[in-house]
Amino acid sequence: MASPHLLVIDDDPDICTLLSRFLGKQGYLVDSAQRGATAKELLKKNRYQLVLCDHRLPDTDSEEMLLHIKSVSRDTAVIIITGYSDVRTAVNLMRKGAFDYVGKPLYPDEILMRVKEALASGSRQPLPQPSASQGPPADYVRGGGPHAQLLAEHITLVAPTDMTVLITGETGTGKEYVAREIHRQSKRAQAVFVAVDCGALPKELAGSELFGHVKGAFTGALGDKRGSFEQAHGGTLFLDEVGNLTYENQVKLLRVLQERRIKRVGDEKDIAVDVRVLAATNEDLYAAVAEGRFREDLLHRINEFGLDLLPLRDRPEDIMVFAHHFLEQANKRLGRGVEGFDEAVETRLKLHPWPGNLRELGNVVKRAVLLSNGATVQLNALPAEVISGTPQHRQQAQAAAGAITLDGLKSVSHSAEKQAILKALERNGFNKSRTAEMLNIDRKTLYNKLKSFGIEI
């Protein structure tokens, strides 16, 4: 069996040399390139099973390279090499087909672990077959803070119904896990759960993936195909990053939600479907409606019940709950027996702003377990940006992420004020004192605004 062929793309010649030598000694065939243009020429000549690509290149960036790599060979796995300031971008790229990311400074054992995982698991395709599963989600973890408690209560409340739920939150906050938990607690729990990443579907083929097609509907349609709605018949369909759908497919989705019937691409007959739809997005769909990018009637249809997931930096009381969960996972996957975290490590984990949310925390813990030799994770096993974390870094990350800052409601337009108040209330477990503090207003002002908007608590 031929050795896997890898490509390293990084503008630092030392990194290219070191990774090529190290991975070559592990039995892999490795090429390297220091510019995007050079890498594209190599991709024309060779078929690579995996590409390690730096986020910042002299003539392009990792997003453009990811799209190019997938257009040439969608089976090629891509791992993004990134610095701390680009972690959020790297996590977002995973929604577009990247397998994973690895942070600098690079550690040989971590690189080897990521490469082996990518080659063993196969890449995350930009044109994925919808993933279907049954049974409870093994990785759903409930936090212990007020937001986690309220979220659990809302899931229990809405799960037995057939209401369409819109789950919002930053990338990496666990929206699909929440969707799977809703399905697990629903009356459809014994039926199929189908997950579709709308953000990874090519626009020209999204209609076929969602609604199916008949033979000859377009070039390459060699036979009839059942779409995601038909596959999810009787169960639950989860549409992740629903805001990425084209206007045409938004119209089709609205019709399906209204009439519970789909029409395959190229077909004239309707097909009845019995599907409970859950949707998710990391963008503000109200802003998308205002900008004309998303249909307002569709937003109201998918948002019969809304769940807003807090970023990890806004729920520090849950950080160690998830950290211990990821520790247990890493021990199983890596064959280690690390028992916990040193007190200094816990302090740093709680201070870090986690721009990549749960995905970043999981990666940090997994790497720490890999680098740990003792019974507990020590500081030297953490990335430098976590070790040097301060509360100020968290405040900066909140501002960068668009969180409500010291300006409070002053920076919010009147039309969006009610929505901002409702979100703040939910984030604080409907505690009025904490909500007023977050919005930088006094309690009396909050009460007056609640009354004016007709919000009763």
Fold of the 404-452 domain: Arc Repressor Mutant, subunit A (1.10.10)
Task: Spell out a b/e string for 305-327, using b for 16 or more CB atoms within 10 Å of the CB, else e.
Answer: bebbbbbbbbbeebbbebbebbb
The CATH superfamily holding the domain 5-121 is Response regulator (3.40.50.2300)
* Token output for 424: 């703040």
CB 40 within 8 A of CB 4: no
Q: What are the domain boundaries of the chain?
A: 5-121, 144-308, 312-398, 404-452
Give me the pLDDT at residue 272, please.
93
What burial class does residue 75 get, using C-beta atoms within 10 Å of its C-beta: 0-12 exposed, 13-18 middle, 19+ buried? exposed
Q: Torsion angle of alpha carbons 315, 169, 52, 26, nearest 10°?
A: 50
Superfamily per CATH, domain 144-308: P-loop containing nucleotide triphosphate hydrolases (3.40.50.300)
Instruction: Tell me how far CA of residue 378 lies from CA of 49, 320, 334, 349, in angstroms.
Output: 35, 15, 18, 12
- % of the chain with per-residue pLDDT over 90: 51
Confidence of residue 397 (pLDDT cuts 50, 70, 90): very low
In this predicted structure, what is the pLDDT of residue 414?
A: 54
What's the pLDDT score for residue 301?
Answer: 95
Both structure tokens of 361: 């925390």
Q: Do domains 5-121 and 144-308 have the same CATH topology?
A: yes
All residues at 6 or more sequence positions from 96 whose CB lies less than 8 Å from its CB, including other chains: 63, 66, 67, 126, 199, 200
Nearest to 125 by CA among 160, 90, 75: 75
pTM: 0.71
Q: Is 383 helix (H, G, I), strand (E, B) or coil?
A: coil
Specify the range with the lowest mean pLDDT, choosing from 46-50, 204-208, 314-318, 403-407: 403-407
- Structure tokens of 290? 């205002």
Q: What share of the chain is helix, strand, coil (3-state, %, to 5)?
A: 50, 15, 35
* Helix locations, 122-195, DSSP H: 146-158, 175-184
Q: Find all residues with CB under 8 Å of 305, minimum gap 6, and list them.
A: 154, 158, 161, 163, 164, 165, 166
402-435 confidence digits (pLDDT tens): 444 434 454 445 556 777 787 777 667 677 887 8
CATH 3.40.109.10 fits 312-398, yes or no: no
For residue 152, is pLDDT > 60?
yes
